[in-house]
Amino acid sequence: MLDEIDILSLLTVGELGSKLKGFEGGIGASEAASFLTGKLQETLEERLRNITGFDRIQVEPYVSETTGTIGPKITVSKRLLANRLYVTYTTSLGNATEQSLKVEFFLSDNISLVGERDELGTLGADIKFRVEFR
């Protein structure tokens, strides 16, 4: 007879949880936990959005690429300046705190400037052009 983690791992990643090792085991367990708490998580995120005024609050399982630790990752986003500026902050909780920040400024509907600092502290900037074909 299979235990709950093995059943959920089969449903989410297609492998038995007991056979997954290392990162894969952590990913299988976090996917299974996410599957179990999905509806509760959606309700909590919606209530937090209403209380804080953020446009997006998301909590999801995360496996650190640098340390291999498993923990929650929290993302919050807010639109500012009449929806022309969009700021997104992401942090992981646990042994190794990894943070990223992304700022996007919309010059027009089709052109935006993007600045980003990733989990490793690397800074980057882009100009994004959006083209639609009809």
Per the structure block, which two tokens stand in for 50? 């209403």
The predicted pLDDT at position 123 comes to 94
Residue 24: per-residue pLDDT: 47
List per-block mean pLDDT (blocks of 10 residues) for the chain, which spans 134 residues: 63 58 50 57 74 82 70 86 91 76 94 92 93 89
Residue carrying the six token digits 């959606």? 42
Please enumerate in sequence order all residues whose Cβ is within 8 A of that of 82, keeping only pairs 6 or more positions apart, or say none. Answer: none
Q: Taking Cα atoms as reference points, which of 17, 18, 22 lies closest to residue 69?
A: 22
Instruction: Output the pLDDT for position 42.
Output: 73
Domain boundaries, the chain: 1-53, 54-134
| pLDDT score of 84 | 92
Q: Residue 15's pLDDT is what?
A: 62
Q: Copy the structure tokens of residue 91.
A: 């942090």
**Residue 125: Cβ-neighbour burial (10 angstroms; 0-12, 13-18, 19+):** exposed
pLDDT of res. 116? 96
The pLDDT assigned to 57 comes to: 82
State residue 101's pLDDT score.
94
Give residues with Cβ within 8 angstroms of 71, minimum separation 6.
61, 62, 64, 92, 93, 94, 95
